[in-house]
Every structure is written in structure tokens, then in C-alpha cells.
Chains A and B, each alone.
Chain A
Amino acid sequence: MASDAAGASSGHGRSVTPEQGTPSAGKRRRPSGAPPPLPRQLGVSGWVWVALTASFIAIIALAVAFQSLGNEFERWEVAVLRRVAEARTGWLTTLMLGINAALASRWTIRILRLGTLVALVGLRRWRHLLTFLGSVVVVELAIYQLSIFQARPRPIGVRIIGSWEGLSFPSPPVAALAVTLVGMVYSLLPPGRARSRGKWAAGAVLLVLGVARMYLAVDRPTDVLAAVIVGVAIPVVAFRFFTPNEVFPVTYRRAKAAHLDVGGRRGQAIRTAVQEQLGLTVLDVQPVGLEGSAGSTPLRLRVAAAGDEPEHALFAKLYAMSHVRADRSYKLGRTILYGALEDEAPFQSVRRFVEYEDYTLLRLTHVGIPTPAPYGFVEITPEREYMIVMEFYAGAQEIGTADVDDQVIDAGLLLIRQLWDAGLAHRDIKPANLMVRDGKVLLVDAFFVQVRPSPWRQAVDLANMMLVLAIRTDAERVYRHALKYFSADEIAEAFAATRGVASPTQLRAAIKQDGRDLVGEFRALAPHRRPVAIQHWSVRRVALGLLMLAVAALVVLVVVQTWTVFA
């Protein structure tokens, strides 16, 4: 988030002392029962899909439970197909056969899917790619299992004039095309007009295919309807769940210009929440530094002048459930790959998430670490969306682009010393999180701060700070300054603990770009010390690893059992 703060026009700190006396003007306590700033809403399309899915389940349950009802349904559907069959004419039949051959072909589906995969790989949109692939696998499995469960033959009582394959409910080609088109719409088209048009186009294509298959009497209306429900509902839910627009926007602009969804209802909700809960009037909300923040939605708020405070900017981070889930899977992955290096207990809710960052900010401020002054957090949607607000550093420059002199080196090293003395670790020391202003080093992004961290993590913080400083200067100079705040043994420990993955990706990239073997230079300067192991074995790690392997094996088994041609 460093780049977010850089270049700000103004900055106003705030005391961490609680306010006394009467509440600030503009603040309003939300009365019981009143809606929050952004009420949780499924939206029209959400309710439509809920209704369709409920109908689908009801149809299956009733048809399975009551054979006579199933027969009645069959007669009704055949009556529809017979009426359609009466309208068959030569040219129309040729057209419908062509549509069915083109749209229901496995090759069409394959080309569309492979094209989407290639596009997503090219765009490096990994999360969308995995969601797309996962949706396809789940829909294919669901359709197959449903078709076996329902075991419905092709329409009876009307002449079938198109080609078909296997059982009919739900229609496999329609479902395959539906999940593919919806996946393309959600992973390739930006939200807004383009995606809306894409949805209509996908709907039109599915409608055309459905009509063609009913015209040819290959599928019944419910075969098509069920396939559309399954083929659309699963990817829609998956994309909304795993790639929410607010966090993983689909955009074709440059990353810095990526605009999050903070201009519509959410933008208004942010204004309302900040006004009511913090007593500040927000004039403008802009996403900033998106590329540097995968775990939240960073924003710059322009706040109106109030009292003796002029108009100024604030920095904010919007957190949603997707961030909690991402944190959970991140910690699980770390536990399996490295063991319990440090506290890997996941957060259970967004509220806990944002409360923790609020606490770490207050803690850092309390012990005198130069970090953005906290303004607290606001509730956007209860238990789903919260936003933490803090000072926006004015006139600060990211350390990666700032002049680093002896004063800055000392300030950076002192900052780590202060963290050590306070029993804290930042855990994400990298150029983007270190700002320089008036010769002082300012620390941003307190989310990963840990109280009473492991000695290993504290040592890594020191090594990462020294590396950041050395990139802009040289190892020998930084080492010499470091000896003012740390013993030679402590520095040796820091570089014994720091290997590869211990440094943030941005820092590793900067070292690689620099070309010098800075870690090697520091190790040569410090007393010799054997490397600190970062692989920690425990029963929990082994059990989790085995569990993950078992789940993976089960998935593979299901896929193989389902699809392999035994030959």
C-alpha cells in the first residue's frame, strides 16, 4: 500500500486517546432494526436463481417420489414437444439440425474452453482460471451424477430427429455450453455494460440451443431447463464467491487504473458509514494501489474540512469475507508447506480481521512506531464488510524510490529495534511498506503485525530491513550502521534465518533486479552462523498434509471413476 500513500496532498495525525464528551457532529447511532449502510442483498438475478434452483430440486424430488406424477409430467412435456413437432418444416429442420450440431458439439465446447484457458493464462488471471476450471469440473460431475440418478430416457411419443447421446436429464450439451459461456462472461468481461451484454448473449445462445433441441425432440423442456439451472447457477455462485468484483476485478486497463466497485451502492455506503460512524464527510472515494494489495481493497478517501481541520485525505482498506477465506487458505498452505512457523490460527470473521488490524495499528502507535494514525473502522455490512480508516501519509515517498542516506538507514534500523523492544514483528518488511518523509522511515500495513512473535520472525524482519536499505546503498554501510542497534550475533542470526521464501516477493524481486548478492555480502560481514531451519514438523502438519493428499486422491478417484473409459 506504500504507493497509495505516496503523493498524498495532506496528512493529519490523530491521537489514539478516546474522544471525550459529546459525540462529534454528524455521528449517528444506527437504531435497532434500521438497515446498515450496505444491506446484504442477493439482487434480482440472485433471487431468480434461488427460485429456479428450488424449482429444480422440487421437480426432481416430486418426480422421484411419485411415479404417477412423473408420468403426468412426461405426458405434459410430450404434448409440448408434439406441438413443436407439428411445426417442423424442411428448412427449419435443416437450420435446427445445424444449430444443434454446431452448439452441442464437444468440439465447440472444447474450443471455447481451451480458448478461455489460454486467454486467462495470457492475462495471468489465475484465480478466475481456477474458478472457471473448477466450475466446469463440478458441473460436469453434477450433470453426470444427476443423469444417472434420474435415469431418464429420451422423449417418448414424438419422433426424435436429431442426434443425441446418453440419458437426457439434465441435458449434458446444454449444461456444458452454459457453464462454458457463463465462465467466459465472468472471467473475461469486465463488470458493467460489457458483462451485462455478455450475459444476454449467453442467454440468447442457450435459448437458441434449447429451442433447437426441443424442436428436434432430443430434449424435453425440463431437460433443458435443469441443464441451464445447473450450468449457470454453479459458475455464477463460484465466481461471485471466489472472484468477487470488489476484490478481483476483471479489467483490461493498466493495473494502477483498475477501478473497484466503490462508485455505486458501495461507494454511497462507504460515505454513509464514515459519516455516521466516524463523523467525517467523505467527498470522494478512489481505489488506490490495487496491484500492491491482494488481501484487501485499498482506498483513498477525500474528507471535507470540519472545524479547524482543512480538507484532507485518509487511507482506508475495505475487507470482505473473501479476504478472510483467502487468509484461511493461505495459512493452511503455509502450515502444510512449512509447519507452524508462527501463529497460523485463521480468523473466523471479517469483524475479527478488521478488529485485529485496528488493534495492531493502535499498538504500533502506542509504542511510538511511526505508522499511520488510526481512525478506527466502520461497518459497511454487518459481519460481511468492514473498512478500516487511517492517516494518509502526505508527501511521503516509497523507500524504493527515495534517497537513502545515513539518517534514513538509522531510522529504518531503529524502527526494527523499536519493534524488537516492544515485542512486535511486522512480518512484511518490503519497499512498498516503508515510506520516507523528512529523513524518517514510516511503516505502513499493520495487518501482519504480530505481538510476541517467534525469534525467527523478528530476525527475519531485521534481515529484510537491512536488505531493503542495502538495495539503495550497500551492504557494508548498512552493516556498519546496524551494529549501532544490534549485536553482531543478532545480525548473524537474522541472515541465518533469512532464506528465499522468508523475504517478501517484492523484496526478492528487487534483490534479483539489483544483481548483487546482498545476502551473501551480509553473511560474509556477520559472524558465521548455521542456517535456521524453517521446516517445522508436527503431528498437525503431517495430519493436514495427509488429509489434503486424501482429499486430492478422492477427487481424482471420483473423476476417474466417472469418466474413464475402461478398455
Chain B
Amino acid sequence: MSRPSTRPRTRTRIWLAAALAGVIVATGGCTARHYQQVSCHNNFQSLRLLEAQAVPSATLIPCLLPLPQGWSYGGAEVRSGLVRFWADSDRAGARTAEVRLTQTCDVSGATEVALKAPPGDMRGYQEPSARQPPTTVRYFVFTGGCVRYRFSFTQQTAPALFEEADQFLGFDPRSVFVNAVRDDTGLPLCGAGAAPCPG
């Protein structure tokens, strides 16, 4: 059986194939995930455990406190050696505030700032604010880890947003997760605060 002529076969297939190929190529390298929000005090959230596994040396794990009105959770990326999550603002745009946890940071260009009631041995640093584009970068350095907290505005350009963003970054001690996992499974959450792991 052969087909009569009105079949727009080859051209349609080529376009369809090109579109699908484009999707595959374009999306192949994307890493952001629509994970649940990394909420503080949620010790059994898989993403929090994954954070603790990504930078096992970190004694503190960053998280988001309840977000003020006008802010929303944007997304997260977690891989070995790096945790990154961000919040969007309905006034300043997407990915306005970004949190990045690594084992170490280069704070040589930053100035140490005093922190109000810091957890553990945490010390705070702030880079000089950039004007174009307006950016604020802060560092929170603690045993085994460092959090870089970046806003895409400054205290001068958006004081209200600055005040809000300053409030919703929180930290949970890693020991909380270590204990929760041990109680739940009897296994150590390898890294800081846990029993040595084989391998």
C-alpha cells in the first residue's frame, strides 16, 4: 500500500525532529531542579540531607526561613561540592537573592562585619557594594563551609528589599541531620559530626 500525495511527510518530520533535537540539546545541560523549598527546621526533608551530603565538611546547613510577602522560592541546584538555591522577588525580579554553599570561599576582597547572635563559630564578611549592576555579596564562614549570599540590589538602591532579604536566610546545625538520620536508619550521615564512614 502506498500513500496518496496529500501527506506532508518529510518536511513535517524534519521540522518535528529539529524541534525535538533543539529541546534535547538546549536542555541537556540544565541543572536547576524544582525541588521543594529548603526550609529551615525540616530535618527529614530529602533536600536538606542532600545539602548535608553535598558539602559534608560544613557544620552548618543554610536554609530559608518563611519568606516575606512578595518573595517566592525560585529553585535549587545541589551537587557534590556545591549547594545553590535562590529566591525571586515580585519587585526586583527572578533570582534576586541567591545562596551558595561551598567548602571554602575567597574572602580576601571582603570586609569582616559583625553578626548578631551568629550560630557556632560563624564569621561574616561583605564585599564592597557594586553599583553597575547593583549587587551585594556577603559571606558567612564557619567550620568546614562557607555561604555566599548575593542580592541583586544594594541597601542604597532598595532598602526595603535589603531589609527583607537580610531576614530570611537561616542555618541549621549539621548535627541535627546527623542525629535524625542515625535515629531513623541507624546509619551515619557521613561528614562533620558523624561517626567515621567506611571507604
Residues of A whose CB lies within 8 Å of any CB of B are 1, 71, 74-75, 78, 82, 85-86, 88, 106, 109-110, 113-114, 117, 121, 126-127, 129-130, 133-134, 136-137, 140, 144, 148, 151-154, 156-167, 217, 292-296, 317, 323, 330, 333-334, 337-338, 341, 357, 427-428, 430, 432-433, 445, 447-448, 501-508, 559, 561-567
The answer to whether B187 touches A74 (Cβ under 8 A) is yes
CA distance A114 to B22 in the complex (A): 10
B2 & A294 in contact (Cβ 8 Å cutoff): yes
**Chain B, 1-26, CB within 8 A of any chain A CB:** 1-10, 12-14, 16-17, 20-21, 23-25
CA distance A133 to B89 in the complex (A): 36
Least Cβ–Cβ distance between A173 and chain B, in angstroms: 12
- Report the separation of the CA atoms of residues A49 and B13 in the bound assembly, to the nearest whole angstrom: 30
Cross-chain pairs A/B with CB under 8 angstroms, 9 sampled: A85-B198, A113-B28, A121-B14, A126-B9, A144-B33, A159-B198, A163-B80, A333-B8, A503-B5
Given contacts A86-B198, A295-B2, contact A167 B46 (CB under 8 A): yes
B186 contacts chain A at the CB level, 8 A cutoff: yes
Q: Is A337 in contact with B6, judged by CB distance below 8 angstroms?
A: yes
A118 to B, closest residue via Cβ? B21
Cβ-based interface call for B88 (8 A): yes
A320 nearest CB across to chain B (Å):
12
Residues of B within 8 A of A (CB-CB), count: 57
Pick from B2, B10, B27, B189: contact of A563, CB under 8 Å: B27
Query: Which of B71-79, B105-113, B133-141, B163-171 is the interface stretch?
Result: B71-79
Query: B21 to A117, Cβ gap below 8 A?
Result: yes
Instruction: Tell me the smallest distance from the CB of A432 to a CB of chain B, in Å.
Output: 7
Q: Is residue B29 contacting chain A, with contact meaning CB distance below 8 A?
A: yes
Instruction: Evaluate contact between A162 and B80: CB separation under 8 angstroms.
Output: yes
- How many angstroms between the C-alpha atoms of A136 and B21 in the bound complex? 10
Number of interchain pairs (Cβ within 8 Å): 188
Dominant secondary structure of chain A at its interface with chain B? helix
Q: Known: A86-B198, A134-B20, A151-B46. Is A160-B190 also a contact (CB below 8 A)?
A: yes
> For A561, what are the chain B residues with a Cβ–Cβ distance below 8 Å?
34
Given A156-B187, A158-B197, A160-B53, 8 further pairs, Cβ under 8 A:
A82-B199, A110-B28, A134-B20, A144-B33, A156-B188, A330-B7, A432-B2, A501-B8
**Given A82-B198, A117-B21; A126-B185 close (CB under 8 Å):** no
Q: Is B49 an interface residue (CB 8 A)?
A: yes
A433: contacting residue among B2, B5, B23, CB under 8 A: B2
Nearest residue, chain B, Cβ from A215: B199
Residues of chain A contacted by B28 (CB below 8 angstroms): 106, 109-110, 113
Q: Is the CB of B27 within 8 A of A559?
A: yes
Across the interface, which residues of A come within 8 angstroms of B29, CB to CB? Answer: 106, 110
**With A167-B46, A337-B8: A447-B32 Cβ-Cβ less than 8 Å:** no
Q: Which residues of B approach A to under 8 Å, CB–CB?
A: 1-10, 12-14, 16-17, 20-21, 23-25, 27-36, 46-47, 49-50, 53, 56, 74-75, 77-81, 88, 94-95, 181, 184-190, 197-199
Report yes or no: A113 in contact with B24, Cβ–Cβ below 8 A.
yes
CA–CA, A106 and B29, complex, Å: 7
Pair B187/A565 contact, Cβ less than 8 Å? no
Q: Which residue of chain B lies nearest to A168 when distances are taken between CB atoms in the complex?
A: B50
Q: Smallest Cβ distance from A425 to chain B, in angstroms?
A: 10
Q: Please, how many angstroms separate the alpha-carbon atoms of A194 and B25 in the complex?
A: 28
Residues in chain A near residue B30, CB distance under 8 A: 563-565
Closest 8 CB pairs of A and B: A85-B199, A157-B187, A295-B1, A133-B20, A151-B46, A165-B79, A159-B199, A126-B13
Whether A158 touches B199, Cβ cut-off 8 Å, given contacts A502-B6, A565-B32, A567-B95, is yes
Q: Chain A residue with minimal CB distance to B74?
A: A566
- Are B50's CB and A167's CB within 8 A? yes
Output the nearest chain A residue to B187 by Cβ-Cβ distance.
Answer: A157
* Interface contact A148-B33, CB-CB below 8 Å: yes
A346 to nearest B CB, angstroms? Answer: 14
Specify the chain A residue showing the minimal Cβ separation from B190. A159
CA distance A295 to B1 in the complex (A): 5
In the complex, what residues of B have CB within 8 A of residue A78's CB?
A: 187
Contact A293–B32 (Cβ < 8 Å): no
Q: Of B9, B50, B53, B185, which is within 8 A of A74 by CB?
A: B185
Contacts of A74 in B (CB 8 A): 185, 187
B6 touches A166 (CB 8 A): no
CA distance A50 to B74 in the complex (A): 39
A136 vs B25: C-alpha distance when bound (angstroms): 11
CB < 8 Å: which of A161, A295, A317 contacts B3?
Answer: A295
Write out the residue numbers on chain B whose beta carbons fall within 8 Å of the beta carbon of A154.
50, 53
Q: Which of B6, B36, B77, B80 contacts A334 (CB 8 A)?
A: B6
B101 smallest CB distance to A (angstroms): 15
Decide: A163 near B24, CB < 8 A? Known: A78-B187, A153-B53: no
Which chain A positions have C-beta within 8 A of B80? Answer: 160, 162-165
Which residue of chain A has its CB nearest to the CB of B20?
A133
Taken together as a complex, chains A and B put the C-alpha atoms of A557 and B171 apart, in Å, by 35
Chain A residues within an 8 Å CB radius of B35 = 148, 167
Which one, B24, B32, B94, B198, contacts A158 given CB within 8 A? B198
Report the Cα distance A295→B25, complex, angstroms.
Answer: 32
Distance between Cα atoms of A503 and B4 in the complex (Å): 7
Question: Which A residue sits closest to B33, measured CB to CB?
Answer: A166
* Contact of A333 with B34 at beta-carbon distance under 8 Å, contacts A126-B14, A160-B80, A296-B1 already known: no
Residues of chain B lying within 8 A (CB to CB) of residue A160: 53, 56, 80, 190
Question: B34 to A148, Cβ gap below 8 A?
Answer: yes
**Do B185 and A133 touch (CB < 8 A)?**
no
* Structural contact, A158 and B190, CB atoms closer than 8 A: yes
Chain A residue, CB-CB nearest to B50: A153
On whether the beta carbons of A121 and B4 are closer than 8 Å, the reply is no
